[in-house]
Amino acid sequence: MNRVSTDNPHWTTLHEQFLKMSAGLAGETTADHYLRYLPSSEFQPLIDLQLYDGIQHFQVDALVVNPKLLLIIEVKNYKGELIFDLEHHQLFRKIDSKTDIFPDPFLQVEIQTLQLTRCLQHYNFPPLPIYSLIVIANPNTAIQTLDMDQQNLKRIIRAKQLPFAVREIDKMFIDEVWSAGTIQHFQQQVRKKHRPYRKSILIQFQLEEKDIIKGVQCPPCGQFRMSLKRDHWYCVKCSCRSKDAHLQSLMDYQLLIGKEITTPDFMKFARIESRKVAWRLLSEACPEYYGETRSRKYIGNNQSQPASSSTN
């Protein structure tokens, strides 16, 4: 967010969207956390998917695959009080004496179920029962339902219930339709076709590359006026020094534009003049890459957080 000038005409809208989206990402992270408690040998969760059903691409927050069923998990991280109105396919959210209306998540997962069925047909996989869950990631969110039957009610769960709910659902199905080989094949197909569905923030917020402030940001003063000395970044504004201020820039790039970055991309984004320096910093920060020479792309490593080692 700090890479967009406050003078930008869309700043206020952007800021609101950014806050909403941050909440969404946090929700998925929480659900990811509880999904890890599932034994992967039995339940095989796939997270953050973009799939193709032969007609169009669609998104799924998480998909649990096992021999008996496919389980779609839709994560919601709304704050406040949620009221599900299944009859009119609406979701109300009351917060701060204000009511917002969102699309019905049940309808959303029904469509996903349809699309997933088509996806299986498209790739010639044997039909498998598809079940879906709506996970409320925020533990402080109150949940209310209007005229909802027990069956649907059971499909709304808290993130903490996830491992138990998955086991319960698993017990509802008896026939093992998919072999281990089919599951493996399906996972390979999904991974092959998978594209991270969180669109580039630039596209999502209708920003252009020129709207993004380039350079390396000084950790203490926030100015994008750091220049690279022999082995450290030096802030022209506040004279502080940092060994790894470029790591934040790298994370910004991955968040704004994409996980993959080339040396020239990094040179432009961090305003590094030397090809060799940019290459060195990038290869140190991203041990993972694919492709060779001119087509090499480095994959972001989110663990490479700046150590905030700045001094004056």
Stretch that binds DNA, among 9-17, 129-137, 206-214, 223-231 (CB under 7 A): 223-231
In this structure, how many other beta carbons lie within 10 angstroms of the beta carbon of residue 251? 17
Q: Specify the residue, 192 or 276, whose C-beta has the smaller distance to DNA.
A: 276
Q: Does 227 bind DNA (CB under 7 A)?
A: no
Output the CA torsion sign for 304, 3, 15, 237: positive
24 class by beta-carbon count within 10 Å (0-12 exposed, 13-18 middle, 19+ buried): middle
Q: Does 312 bind DNA (CB under 7 A)?
A: no
Binder of DNA out of 283, 305, 308, 309 (CB under 7 A): 283
Q: Specify the residue, 159 or 228, whose C-beta has the smaller distance to DNA.
A: 228
Q: Which residue has the tokens 């969102």?
A: 102
CA 280 to each of CA 217, 270, 284: distance values in angstroms, whole numbers, following the listed order: 19, 13, 6
Stretch that binds DNA, among 2-10, 89-97, 137-145, 290-298 (CB under 7 A): 290-298
Site for DNA in 139-168 (CB under 7 A): none
Q: Does 277 bind DNA (CB under 7 A)?
A: yes
Residue of 163, 157, 173 lying closest to 66 (CA atoms): 173
| Min CB(231)–DNA separation in Å | 3
Q: Does 280 bind DNA (CB under 7 A)?
A: yes
CA separation for the pair 38, 26 (Å, rounded): 20
Binding residues (CB under 7 A) for DNA: these are: 228-232, 262-264, 274-277, 279-280, 283, 292-294, 296
